[in-house]
Structure 1
Amino acid sequence: MLRISIISAILTFAMLFNSGLAQNHSIDSLNQALQKQESDLNRYKTLTELAIAYSDSNYEKSLEYWKSALNIANGLGKRELVANVYHQIGFSYMKMGEFKLSLENLENAGAIYSYLDSTKLYAGIQNDIGLIYRNWGKYDKALEYYLNALDLYRKIGDVEGIGIASNSIGQIHFYRENYPKAIEFFKEYLEINEAKGNSRAVAGASNNVASAYLELGKYDDALEYFLKSLHIYDSLGISIGVAIIQDNIGSLYFKQNLLDNALLYHQNALEIFQSLKSVTRVCYTQKNMGQVLLAQGKVDRAIDMFQESLNKAKEIGLKDVASDCSKLLSDCYVKTNNFQKAYSFLLDHITIKDSILNSETLQKIEELQAQYERDKKEQEISVMNSKLRAQRLTLLIATGFSVLLISLFLLVVFENRKKKKTLASLELLRKHIFQNISRNLCDLQLVINSYEVEGYFSAWWYGPQNKMYNF
């Protein structure tokens, strides 16, 4: 198993190296193009392309280009361009763990999208703001924004957006440890993106499904989805994705007590996250590495790793990591017989945990979930009623058409019968006329041949006015 892990790591490194060469070539071309651009609009477009080129490899560099693009967009006075850059800056800060700055920029973008009546883009902002509150451990607030996004996507019939919001709602269920429910939402997101052919989204959805299966102890199912996700990220050359999956596979090996394999995957992931300066992901991975070290009996190294993760988590407001690290540090100090520190960290864990999932928050989440279920049911009923109305209309049209055809058929039959009767009457009348004519002619001949009138008719026939001439 270890040999397989090492080969996988080597192949991953080779893929990243080759993709890095291709990316550098692309970036060099864009930088050369930027120097030649004369119009501000073309400079804006090139700057955004450069920002995107660095979006998965160097967050700070990407952010610099986005800020330069923002200056140009403001100068052009094009609000839709300004909103787009605010959105991207907000998302960049989110990946860096700068949640307050992220929220500020996302709200700026949202205000412009709302003014421009760009429903789809505004829904995306609602979903992204929900991600920030989720990272802050404010799950009720996060769910509120996710449901807003879902409602907006449904109103405009955006299937892909519905999938994104469903995935976000699934994450809330995941953090509430309702893993079967989380899988339902994650698989809905997965199916939508498979149908759309969105490879990157399929990779993300597969990772989420795998993570839920991992928590349920279904390791074979989890590994299947993790490898599916890893293959896609490898093929796309997305280093952040590769690192996330490696980190998660490390967690899978940890649960299977394959500690050396687990540590190798976590270490690979940590190096990529540190190169990207992704503080959020570094926090998670350091916590994961600390767990492996603790299981290996390397308590002092585990304490150092948990403490580093805890400090970063408190700095950026990552409550779920802070809660976990406090509990793990408590476990470490129990092993070293330092019960005072163990008790102190356990209290910290309980305090943070309660702030995340207090009774009021849970009630709010339940209310929002119930509202979501009601809205979903109402939408299903509405769709069903629409189908029934369509079916009734189709049946009505078909019935009317059938009645029309029958009426036309009966009319033709009636007209044919009427025509036949008329022809029959005409035939009888014709026969009657001919019979009368024949009878009258016979009567006339009898009259002519009668000796009583023979002279009269002969005189008239051969009279002066009808004189016969012989030649």
Structure 2
Amino acid sequence: MIPNVRCSFFFALFLSMSAFGQKIDSLEAVLDTAKNDHKVKTLNELFRANLRTDPVKALGYTREALNLATEIGDKKGMAASYNNLGIIYRNQGALDKALDYYITSLKIYEALNNQEGIASTKNNISTIYSIKKDYGQAMKYLEESYDLFVTLKDERRIIGSMNNLGNLNIEIQLYEKAMKYFSQASQLSEKLGIKFADPLSNMGNIYFKQSNFPRAIEFYEKALAIERENDNRLGMLSILTNLGITYAKAKQPAPAQRYLDEATTLCEQLQAYSFLPSLYKAQAENASTQNNWKVAYDMMLKYDDAREKIYGEESSRNIAQMEMVIDFQEKEKEYDMQRQQSEITKLELHNTRLFVLLIILAILGILGALNFFYVKKKARRKK
């Protein structure tokens, strides 16, 4: 049983996006009067503001942004829109389509020599390769992204990149290197006054994997204090679960029970039921340590029930996810049809104008010929 590794591959993006959830109304008000590239930027900001709550609506905003950016030749806006499309398809599991959009975005940013855009997009590309377990490519893009953020001296995003590099090194079991990145991320966040628990929690995960339970507990406790201060209840739940599991493994039943009980209560409050199997299994292990076989047996029954429920929910989520991807694809087809219709309309208008011009030229030609014959005839009469 291994504690939850809370991978933070998107932290570098969310550092600059966290305030958007509270600005939807003001952004929509700005949209009413915004024009050209300012409107493109506002539409892409509305995408980010709606991404977590209404991804289909978010898709509509960034599609509109891409359409307008293409029409007015706003290359930066086009790159941002393609990057946003990559994010939304990645979130829905359409990894190949997401990668296509990211690469399109990257090419535009490179043509513009926009270093910040290149760095952010390479970070996003690395997440796709990491999910696909192509760790070589993931590492390549993530290191390039990190180097660019260092060159730009963007310290807030450097924190996220270092944490991402640490998580990726955990995946390939390079724990010493991962620990170095987490330590640097934690130190830099402290220097900047950013309360960021993930590097500390991830260091605890490494010590847990190495069965160094006292050190794991030390880092989990530090991370928990930060999450309590931030009032990040989901982060608290993850670390409380890790602490309960670790104390149970360390054969310290009293603190294990305390953390597991608090985690279970918080799990119910947040309806974060995906944590329940780990919690029940740890409860069973903790009870068996105390030779309380009845409680251990009951907890294992709850563990089996929770797993069955979670698998059922995961199946439903997968179906919903597939339906959402289909919905996105339908909207994309609709957008392409609208674009094609717009091109057809423009072509028809062009052909109509050309036809009118030809008629005018023909009339002028006829009038010119008539005038020529008239002048010639008049000259003959004079003779």
TM range (shorter): 0.5 to 0.7
1:100-249 pair list within 5 angstroms: 100-101=53-54, 103-105=56-58, 107-117=60-70, 118-132=74-88, 134-135=90-91, 138-139=92-93, 141-155=94-108, 157=110, 158=114, 160-175=116-131, 179-239=135-195, 242-249=196-203
Distance 1:228 1:192, change over 3 A: same
> Given that residues 74 and 82 in structure 1 are in contact (C-alpha distance below 8 angstroms), is that contact kept between their aligned partners in structure 2?
yes
Structure 2 residue matching 1:296: 3-state secondary structure: helix
The reply on whether 1:68 has 2:26 as its aligned counterpart is yes
The residue type equivalent to 1:270 in the other structure is: E
Query: Deviation at 1:56?
Result: 6.2
Partner of 1:4: none
Q: 81-90 vs 141-150, which deviates more? A: 81-90
1:328 maps to 2:278: yes
Please give the residue correspondences for 1:301-450 in structure 2 after superposition, counting only pairs within 5 Å.
301-302=259-260, 304-305=262-263, 308-309=266-267, 312=270, 323=274, 325-332=275-282, 334-335=284-285, 336-338=296-298, 339-351=300-312
Q: 1:309 to 1:252 in 2, by over 3 A?
A: farther
* Partner Cα distance (1:227, 1:176) in 2: 27
Q: Deviations over 1:25-65 (max 9, x none)?
A: xxxxxxxxxxxxxxxxxxxxxxxxxxxxxx969957x6445
Alpha-carbon contact 2:47-2:61 (below 8 Å) kept: no
The one-letter code of the counterpart of 2:281 is D
One-letter code aligned to 2:282:
C
Counterpart of 2:150, as a letter, is E
Deviation at 1:143, TM superposition (A): 4.5
Report the CA distance shift for 1:348/1:58 in structure 2 as closer, same or farther (over 3 A). same
Question: Which of 81, 87, 91 matches 2:48?
Answer: 91
Structure 2 Cα separation of the partners of residues 183 and 261 of structure 1: 29
Hey, what's the Cα distance between the residues in 2 that align with 1:57 and 1:125? Answer: 16
Counterpart AA for 1:337: Y
How many Å separate the matches in 1 of 2:65 and 2:123?
A: 26
Distance in 1, matches of 2:155 and 2:76, equals: 21
Structure 1 gaps of 5+ residues are 1-54, 315-321, 362-471
Provide the TM-score with structure 2 as the length reference.
0.59
Task: Measure, in 2, the Cα distance between the counterparts of 1:155 and 1:130.
Answer: 14
1:251 aligns with 2:205: yes
Q: What is the percent sequence identity of the aligned residues?
A: 15
Q: Give the match for residue 417 of structure 1.
A: none
Contact 2:207 2:216 in 1 (8 A): yes
User: 1:145 corresponds to which letter in structure 2?
Assistant: A
| Alpha-carbon distance in 2 for matches of 1:169, 1:56 | 18
Task: Give the CA deviation at 1:192.
Answer: 3.0
Compared CA separation, residues 261 and 132, structure 1 to 2 (3 A) = farther
Aligned pair partner of 1:296 in 225, 247, 252:
247
The 8 Å contact of residues 132 and 142 in structure 1, kept in 2 or not, is answered as no
Look up the equivalent residue of 2:303 and give its one-letter code: A
Give the 3 Å change call, closer, same or farther, for CA 77–129 of structure 1 in structure 2.
closer
With over 3 angstroms needed to count, the CA separation of the structure-2 counterparts of 1:81 and 1:200, relative to structure 1, is: same
Residue 245 of structure 1: how far off its partner (Å): 2.8
Aligned amino acid, residue 178 of structure 2: A
CA contact (8 A) 1:333 1:341 kept: no
Tell whether the 8 Å contact from 1:150 to 1:162 is kept in structure 2 after alignment.
Answer: no
Counterpart code for 1:331? K
The C-alpha deviation readout for 1:1-36, integer Å capped at 9, x for no partner, is xxxxxxxxxxxxxxxxxxxxxxxxxxxxxxxxxxxx
Please state how far the C-alpha of 1:340 moved relative to its aligned partner: 2.5
The structure number with the bigger radius of gyration is 1
Greater RCO between the two (CA within 8 Å, min separation 6)? 2
- Alignment RMSD: 3.9
Q: Cα distance 1:58–1:201, how it changes in 2: closer, same or farther (>3 A)?
A: closer
Q: Please give the alpha-carbon distance, in whole angstroms, between the structure 1 residues aligned to 2:96 and 2:265.
A: 30
Report the 3-state secondary structure (helix = DSSP H, G, I; strand = E; otherwise coil) of the residue aligned with 2:297.
coil
TM-score (normalised: structure 1): 0.50
1:263 partner letter: Y
How far, CA to CA, are the matches of 1:356 and 1:226 in structure 2?
A: 32
Deviations 1:408-442 (A, max 9, x none): xxxxxxxxxxxxxxxxxxxxxxxxxxxxxxxxxxx
Q: How many residues align?
A: 282
Partners of 1:180 and 1:116 in 2: CA distance: 34
CA offsets per residue over residues 371-409 of structure 1, 9 Å max, x none? xxxxxxxxxxxxxxxxxxxxxxxxxxxxxxxxxxxxxxx
Inter-partner Cα distance in structure 2 for 1:88 and 1:313: 30
Aligned to 1:374: none
Match of 1:100, SS state, is coil
Cα contact 2:142–2:161 (8 A) shared by 1: yes
Displacement of 1:226: 1.6
> What SS class does the counterpart of residue 163 from structure 2 fall into?
helix
Paired residues of 1:83 and 1:110 also in contact (CA < 8 A): no
Q: Which runs of 5+ in 2 are unaligned?
A: 1-13, 249-255, 286-295, 323-383
Measure, in 1, the Cα distance between the counterparts of 2:260 and 2:27. Answer: 43
Map Cα deviations across residues 113-143 of structure 1 (whole Å, 9 max, x no partner). Answer: 32122343343344345445555xx33x145
Q: Which amino acid aligns with 2:279?
A: L
Matched, 1:283 2:241: no
Could you tell me whether the CA contact under 8 Å between 1:306 and 1:328 is conserved in 2? no
